[in-house]
Structure 1
Amino acid sequence: MSARIDRLWPDPELDVDDDSLVETYAFPDGPWLRMNFISSLDGAATREGLSGGLGDDADHRVFDLLRRPADAVLVAAGTVRAEGYEAMRLDDDSVAWRTRRGKPPHPVFALVSLSLDLDPASPVFADAPVRPIVYTTQNAPADRRSVLERVADVVAVGAEEVELPAVVADLARRGLRHIHSEGGPSMFGSSLAQGAVDELCLTLAPTLEGGTARRIAASAEASPTPMQLVSVLRSSEELLLRYRRTREAS
């Protein structure tokens, strides 16, 4: 039995089902980059080095459902390694949901890596239902690139750092407009600095962690980005918040 989630705002509803949750997180039209993170009350993004340590059944339920309408799931290579990602395969219910709407059964797995330190024999590539895309820089190691090109499309966007607006544009050219990103903090920080973030889905875990865990966004310079609250969900003591970037009036 799935964890109960209530919608507090807008349009309050008790014990929302999966279809209602997916609708709550519906993408708008056009290219869109969504970030999804979990944080403790005191700002820790991980427990014992992993974000999964903070989540409960409700967070895991939403985590899976957020992939359902996505055209692409974007993740930094460091997060892929640390969190033990495998191939981007959705569950049967999500595949059926997508198929009924004329979408491919699975989203494209897009990875960001400066060093291209990725194992081409890992399930991420070897078991992929759709050929993944790896975004890197023009200065990435040529030998690693040639090996990865056997199992993925490798695209250079930027000389010294990956330019996230260019990633969004390249995915849009491929017909992949709705991008759901699952981290990590360095990529989130870069995305903010480059003005690429459209949305943040934030699970607020009811715990205080202390210690030296990173925040959900990490970068050398601050990038103040006004956000507007869109929805509030609750599961027991946990809050699941959705924010959209506030666009300045022209």
Structure 2
Amino acid sequence: MRILTTGPAEPARDTSDVTDAELAEIYRYPADRAWLRVNFVSSVDGAAQGPDGRSGTISGRPDRHVLALLRALCDVILVGAGTARAERYGPATIRPAFTALREKLGLAPTPPIAVVSHSLDLPDGLLADPRTVVITARASSPERRAALEDRVDVAIAGESEVDVTEAVAALTDRGYRRILSEGGPSLFAELLAGSLVDEVCLTQSPELLAGPAMRITHGPLLAEPTRLTLASLLEEDGFVFQRWLTGSHHETPG
């Protein structure tokens, strides 16, 4: 992997391969505040899904490596139930190469998954970890909630529908300040509409797909476009790794 730029103040430069330690420094979370990072992969023509409806089919080895690092750096992984079902989520694992990094950061061996769901139709694999946080609305099925509460952590956020602002607050109240959201596109759009996203990490996969696939955001048009500032740009085997800061964040975290 090579660095193309680490922001507008630094020109592109040729480097030797970036080490995992250097990569962790580039993607480090801020130490003094909660931070919500969103991570997606898309094709060059903007498809966030492969022909099978899964993002994994447009991923590749470099993208999976960066995703593994981002998971190693976070306190919790936030995901919508539709994505959790489509991508067959289970409890998160950490690559052995990043075990020492989590230990250095004082984090648990693996991050829990927080899943947003109104229907409470969840993959059984996620329910195997009692640390899983199920975030739902008060109007969801009381019977299903009660059954889940015996197995995992259930948080109420919103009345008739899940309120994403309350959902994020529920995570920070539990001490999860370094949040990694892995989608899907509808959840991302809601988080943007609520001005809750601090950073967008986008992997551009070196392929064109056409077809009907969704973009990385899917929802009503935002009242105002979310302005982004480029924080870093990396490349490996044709995969381009973009890191963008939102709103008033004009400096990289740290």
TM-score by shorter chain over 0.5: yes
Query: How far 1:248 sits from its partner (Å)?
Result: 8.6
Deviations 1:134-168 (A, max 9, x none): 11111111111111111111111111332222222
1:9 and 2:5 correspond = yes
Match in the other structure for 2:92:
88
Structure 1 residue 20, shift from structure 2 partner: 1.1
1:179 & 1:168 partners in 2: Cα distance? 9
TM-score, normalised to structure 1's length?
A: 0.91
Distance in 2 between the 1:147 and 1:191 partners? 28
Partner of residue 21, structure 2: 19
Contact 1:74 1:111 in 2 (8 A): yes
Q: CA deviation at 1:217?
A: 0.5
Q: Answer yes or no: is the 8 Å Cα contact 1:38–1:55 preserved in 2.
A: yes
2:168 matched residue in structure 1: 168
**How many angstroms apart in 2 are the aligned matches of 1:55 and 1:152?**
30
RMSD: 1.7
Give the paired residue count.
Answer: 241
Query: Gaps spanning 5+ residues in structure 2: where?
Result: none
Question: 2:157 touches 2:170 (CA, 8 Å); kept in 1?
Answer: no
Q: For the residues of structure 1 that align with 2:162 and 2:16, how far apart are their CA atoms?
A: 42
Matching residue of 1:115: 119
User: For 1:19-62, what per-residue CA distance to the aligned partner results, in whole angstroms no more than 9, with x for missing partners?
Assistant: 11111111113111110001111111011211111111101110
Q: Which residue identity lines up with residue 119 of structure 2 in the other structure?
A: S
- 5+ long unaligned stretches in structure 1: none
Matches of 2:97 and 2:66, distance apart in 1: 14
CA deviations over 1:103-133 (Å, ceiling 9, x no partner): 21111211111111125xx22221x2x6111
Superposition TM-score, scaled by structure 2 size: 0.90
Match of 2:47 among 30, 33, 44: 44
Distance in 2 of aligned mates of 1:213 and 1:168: 27
Please give the alpha-carbon distance, in whole angstroms, between the structure 1 residues aligned to 2:236 and 2:95: 22
Amino acid at match of 1:20: E
Distance in structure 2 (CA, Å) of the matches to 1:101 and 1:196: 24
* Overall identity of the aligned pairs, in %: 40
Equivalent residue runs for 1:1-250 within 5 Å: 5-10=1-6, 12=13, 13-28=15-30, 29-48=32-51, 49-119=53-123, 122-126=124-128, 128=129, 131-223=131-223, 224-247=225-248
The answer (yes or no) to whether the contact 1:96–1:105 under 8 Å persists in 2 is no
Residue 89 of structure 1: how far off its partner (Å): 2.3
Structure 1 residue 83: Cα displacement = 0.6
Does the 8 Å contact 2:91/2:112 carry over to 1?
no
Q: Match of 2:65, as an amino acid?
A: R
